[in-house]
Structure 1
Amino acid sequence: MDSTLQERARVTRRSLLEAAARLFAEQGYAGTSVNDVSAASGRTSGSVYFHYASKEGLALAVVRDRFATWPSLAARYANPATPPLERLVTLSYEAARALAEDTLTRAGARLWAERDTIDAPLPDPFALWTTAATRLLAQARASGHLAYRVRPAPTACILVRSFFGLCTLTEALEGPQRITHRLTDWWHLTLPCLQRGADPAETVRRARAEVMNGAAPGVTA
């Protein structure tokens, strides 16, 4: 395949993926058909089957694109200039913004929640988050910034599950625009139990400001 055909194929796959994500986010997996994706993307149903083989294949691609891998967060996670616990808080604000605003992330989250209706094994995004949180908590302990008796691995597991539960319930009860506001409340409650040697409220303020005032659009509180 020459470069022109490869580029056309890439553009077609992307348009199908984005159309499917919008529909999955709005209507759910069961409420979306291949014909819906075809109509929304302006492509034929044959194109959908050629590039993704099935609706299940589309759903898997949507989950993998953002929700399961979170490629945009790698720089935040690895930035050595930011203390580990502040990195963890900043990552949570980035994830909350994506869950509130980014169609592909929102679709991935909804598809994962509806995974029992999808005839394909979807990747587990929470293992990635738990591993990342464990490492950041371990780094905080090594630098003397983690409270005594806080164990990184079990604490990371609780934080990740609590975070995603908070986002899900806040969206359901108050709408996505309130996720950042509730996340700030959550960190003000949680971070004093984790952090040693720094002001937790200031850590939350800096992390939130970095995301809200950064290049990516923020979520209003």
Structure 2
Amino acid sequence: MARQQERARRTRAALVEAAAVEFAKRGYAAASVNTILEGSRATKGAMYFHFQSKEELARAVLTSAIETFTGITDRWAKRTDLDPFVALHGLVLDIAEVFRAEVIVQAEFRLIIEPEFYKDVQSGGGQVWGKTAYELALRAKDDGLLREDVDPEKFTRVLAASLAGQRYMADLIASSGDLGVWFEESLEVVLEAMATPEWLEKFHRDGWPQVEFPDAE
């Protein structure tokens, strides 16, 4: 029984991964179930055992992406030993890395702009990391690192819009540029406009400190 359960788990994971590859490449409407089956090496019967439709497969991909983002944000939210802007810098770089390396996350970014999944934007990966970014901005405000006329909601909203634009442009121009560098640039531009002069003076002098990226626990 345990062996059958493990086989079923692996089959389901293979289907989700193959679906993510297809959704990331073609979007939802043009994605081919047959191509997903070929990529997963699963039978149609096995697929319908786990998923009743292509939409269910897509929602499994979205759920998996949320789990990925949650793992990242949980690690950085716990870094209360760090300057909140330094923790935010680490979070932003980790997000850039999963956009580069994780097909599940790439697929989520493609799916949430499809008409069938517009409503999922409100509960997707962007909301997950955005909540942590907002909490870090609140900490920065409490620590006196944000200017008096800047509120954490404004800071987070402007940063999120800039990062989304960078991610969109990366696809639009098919650039081989480093998304991590672009995300870092976005964060630094927002900080130049909204951080206190005292924090900026220290940052201009010292730059980003070397921080050990927390491993998954």
Q: Does the pair score TM above 0.5?
A: yes
Q: Does 1:200 align with 2:203?
A: yes
CA distance in 1, matches of 2:57, 2:64: 10
CA distance in 1, matches of 2:30, 2:193: 43
Change (3 A) 1:97 1:119: closer
- The CA RMSD measured in Å over matched residues stands at 2.5
Aligned twin of 1:219: none
Instruction: Give the structure-1-normalised TM-score.
Output: 0.83
The alignment partner of 2:195 has SS state of coil
1:170 and 1:182 in contact (8 A); partners too: no
Instruction: Give the structure-2-normalised TM-score.
Output: 0.84
Q: Count residues with an aligned counterpart.
A: 210
CA distance in 1, matches of 2:118, 2:187: 35
1:138 and 1:152 in contact (8 A); partners too: yes
The alignment partner of 1:191 has SS state of helix
Q: Does 1:10 align with 2:9?
A: yes
Deviations 1:77-111 (A, max 9, x none): 22112111111121111111111221111111111
2:66 and 2:124 in contact (8 A); partners too: no
Percent identical pairs in the alignment equals 27
Q: Does 1:93 align with 2:107?
A: no
1:20 and 1:58 in contact (8 A); partners too: yes
Deviation at 1:45, TM superposition (A): 1.4
Counterparts of 1:58-137 in structure 2, within 5 Å, are: 58-67=57-66, 70-73=69-72, 74-114=74-114, 116=115, 118=116, 122=120, 123-137=123-137
List gaps (5 residues or longer) in structure 1.
217-221
Task: Return the letter of the residue paired with 1:162.
Answer: S
Task: Return the letter of the residue paired with 1:49.
Answer: Y
The alignment partner of 2:178 has SS state of helix
Q: Does 1:187 align with 2:187?
A: yes
The alignment partner of 1:166 has SS state of helix
Deviation at 1:164, TM superposition (A): 1.3
Aligned twin of 1:144: 144
Deviations 1:113-156 (A, max 9, x none): 22x0x379534333333322221111111122222211012321
1:170 and 1:178 in contact (8 A); partners too: no
Change (3 A) 1:128 1:23: same
Deviations 1:28-82 (A, max 9, x none): 2222122111111111112112112110011111111124761331112221121
Aligned twin of 1:32: 31
List gaps (5 residues or longer) in structure 2.
none
Task: Return the letter of the residue paired with 2:63.
Answer: R
CA distance in 1, matches of 2:19, 2:7: 18
